[in-house]
């Protein structure tokens, strides 16, 4: 049985992450909403529209899995094109309406996840999600797209302990990352040791594992959401499987996208 308190903790952090990004965009003028972000072809408005659409999809998966299955079938034809079309449609609306839509949708999703059974399983564009995993995925994506917005606005955001959720989902998605690249996942577990924003050590996997990934949690998370090239991070690998993972790591469902070129800084959508 999943821990309801664990779900509550993730939902509290999801709310905080959403509010942090809201604070970045709430006061923007029309030109800033139209500013091009590091994600090719995406403006700030596209980034927020994508989050609003994905929150809508998550809410549908929680409330009506059968209807979500129809959406999933549509998206499966060509996922990236489908995602881009939805982002473009949302970005075409007035910034005030888009912001209101995102706020309302994320509040509805928060409420739905708050009342869902902790051990429920919901369909998704990747593997099915538990209640906590769905909330974690929304936090991860909110933070990732928030990085694109921050990069565009020239804002350097201080990393927080909420990155623990992003790192955890990236570690848990290791085999998925290999699979979407058409590769067989390594059979053995890896050890991951990350230095958190406050200097503590976050660890995942068995201590005696031969293959290991180490580095700053912020760098690992940026790498896993494909907002930085591995050469621009201080993340290091020990072992061939771990080394291969750092080139393909991703914490999100769907195709990996082109990622970032070395030196390019902040995002793939």
Q: Is 32 exposed, middle or buried (CB count within 10 Å of its CB: 0-12, 13-18, 19+)?
A: middle
**Residues, the chain:** 269
pLDDT at 3: 55
Question: Phi and psi (nearest 5°) for 120?
Answer: -65, 160
Torsion sign over Cα 40, 44, 46, 52: positive
pLDDT at 160: 97
Please give the CATH architecture assigned to the domain spanning 4-153: Up-down Bundle (1.20)
Q: How far is CA 73 from CA 17, 70, 77, 207, 214, in A?
A: 30, 5, 7, 41, 38
pLDDT of the chain, 269 residues: tens digit per residue = 455 567 889 999 999 999 999 999 999 999 999 999 999 899 999 999 999 999 999 999 999 999 999 988 887 777 778 889 999 999 999 999 999 999 999 999 999 999 999 889 999 988 899 999 999 999 999 999 999 999 999 999 999 999 999 999 999 999 999 999 999 999 999 999 999 999 999 999 999 999 999 999 999 999 999 999 999 999 999 999 999 999 999 998 877 777 777 877 654 33
pLDDT at 1: 40
pLDDT at 260: 79
Q: Where in the chain is the domain with CATH 1.20.120.450?
A: 4-153
> What is the residue whose two structure tokens read 């995942």?
204
Q: Where in the chain is the domain with CATH 3.30.1050?
A: 163-248
DSSP class of 174 = H
Q: Measure the CA–CA gap between 148 and 123, rounded to whole angstroms.
A: 27
pTM (predicted TM-score): 0.92
pLDDT at 4: 58
Mapping DSSP to helix (H, G, I), strand (E, B) and coil, where does residue 173 land?
coil
Question: Phi and psi (nearest 5°) for 90?
Answer: -70, -40
DSSP β-bridge partners for residue 212: 191, 238
- Which CATH entry fits the domain spanning 163-248: 1.10.10, 3.30.2310, 1.10.3470, 3.30.1050? 3.30.1050
pLDDT at 94: 97
């Amino acid at each position: 049985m999943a821990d309801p308190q664990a779900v509550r903790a993730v939902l509290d952090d999801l709310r905080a992450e959403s509010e942090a990004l809201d604070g970045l965009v709430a006061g923007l003028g029309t030109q800033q909403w139209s500013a091009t972000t590091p994600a090719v072809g995406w403006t700030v408005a596209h980034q927020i529209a994508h989050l609003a659409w994905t929150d809508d999809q998550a809410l549908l998966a929680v409330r009506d899995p059968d209807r979500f299955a129809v959406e999933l079938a549509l998206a499966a034809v060509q996922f990236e094109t489908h995602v881009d079309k939805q982002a473009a449609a949302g970005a075409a609306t007035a910034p005030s309406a888009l912001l209101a839509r995102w706020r309302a949708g994320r509040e509805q999703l928060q409420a739905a996840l708050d009342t869902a059974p902790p051990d429920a399983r919901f369909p998704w564009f990747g593997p099915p999600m538990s209640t906590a995993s769905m909330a974690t995925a929304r936090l991860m994506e909110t933070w990732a797209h928030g990085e694109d917005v921050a990069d565009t606005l020239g804002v350097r955001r201080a990393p927080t302990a909420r990155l623990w959720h992003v790192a955890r989902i990236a570690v848990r998605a290791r085999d998925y990352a290999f699979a979407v690249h058409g590769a067989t996942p390594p059979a053995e577990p890896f050890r991951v040791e990350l230095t958190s924003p406050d200097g503590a050590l976050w660890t995942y996997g068995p201590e005696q594992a031969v293959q290991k990934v180490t580095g700053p949690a912020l760098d690992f998370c940026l790498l896993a959401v494909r907002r930085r090239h591995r050469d621009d991070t201080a993340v290091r690998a020990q072992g061939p499987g771990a080394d291969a993972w750092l080139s393909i790591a991703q914490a999100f469902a769907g195709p990996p996208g082109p990622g970032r070129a070395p030196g390019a800084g902040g995002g793939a959508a």
